[in-house]
Amino acid sequence: MKKTTTLFEDGDHRWIVVARDPERPDHLIDTNEYLITSAGEGLLTDPGGMEIFPAVFSAISAVFDPEKIRTLFASHQDPDIISSLALWLDFNPSLHCYLSWLWDSFVPHFGGNEDTFRPIPDEGMAIPLGELTLQAVPAHYLHSSGNFHLYDGKARILFSGDIGAAMIPHEEDYLFVTDFDRHIRYMEGFHRRWMGSNEAKRDWCERASRMPIDMLCPQHGAIFQGADVERFIHWLDELKVGSGIRG
Ligand code: FE
């Protein structure tokens, strides 16, 4: 398998999208991993599953020294998010992993010890990276009961985990949303089925609409930019989700 990288930079502050693998077998859901770097330090958000670790590791190695990744961030507990943990820790046992306090005794079943985890309280917390301060933003029940997004206020990017996710067919593997209305067909069923609470969704939409966001970067599918960010928040706000609704 072979992942590709897309790089954005503003001086030594860089954000790298690790996405799209034409060799990925169909039985693995496609995922996007994001590396943020500042002052030579890296944080990898939603590092991915163990099956794709070699592809993610080699894609990152082509653009950034993986030894300088000091921190992992897991938006929630799913295997496609963080089951690569033990492999990352084999490479660098001193890595720290930020995740919801709710999962800090479950995710250690994937690996790590008492020094590995940095539990995030429900209200969120600041996460230092080089010269930046990132923010863990609450997104509970969207879809996991202990769920966080990661906000880079300098780049105005919200790394939004499963919110904004889309199942794009192989033949249309676009990385950026360019036709929002057409993109809806690839995300509507997913959000209806996986997002468990209309109240939590409303709360998140209110929070997100108050934040300056230039890019909304989900863990599956395509990235929203500019006016499509607000368009997405409005679309999600109107969508009826929750238990018992099938996609
Ligand atoms: Fe998930």
Homologous superfamily (CATH) for 4-238: Ribonuclease Z/Hydroxyacylglutathione hydrolase-like (3.60.15.10)
Given a cut of 80, is residue 95 above it in pLDDT? yes
pLDDT (average), residues 103-130: 96
Q: How far away, in angstroms, is 12 Cα from ligand 1 center?
A: 31
171 Cβ contact list (under 8 Å, min separation 6): none
Q: pLDDT, tens digit, for every residue of 159-172?
A: 999 999 999 998 89
* pLDDT for residue 245 is more than 70: no
What are the domain boundaries of the chain?
4-238
Using pLDDT thresholds of 50, 70 and 90, give the confidence band for residue 26: confident
Distance 46 CA to ligand 1 centre (A): 10
pLDDT of residue 246: 64
What is the 216 CA–ligand 1 centroid distance (Å)? 17
**Distance of CA 144 from the midpoint of ligand 1 (Å):** 7
The torsion region of residue 161 among left (phi > 0), alpha (psi -120 to 50) and beta comes to: left
Confidence of residue 16 (pLDDT cuts 50, 70, 90): very high
> Distance, CA 97 to ligand 1 centroid (Å)?
17
pLDDT in the model for residue 32: 95
Average pLDDT over residues 54-71: 96
8 A C-beta contact, residue 220 and residue 162: yes
Going from the Cα of 137 to the center of ligand 1, the distance in angstroms, rounded, reads 16
CA of residue 219 to ligand 1 center, whole Å = 9
Q: What is the average pLDDT value for the chain, to the nearest integer? A: 95
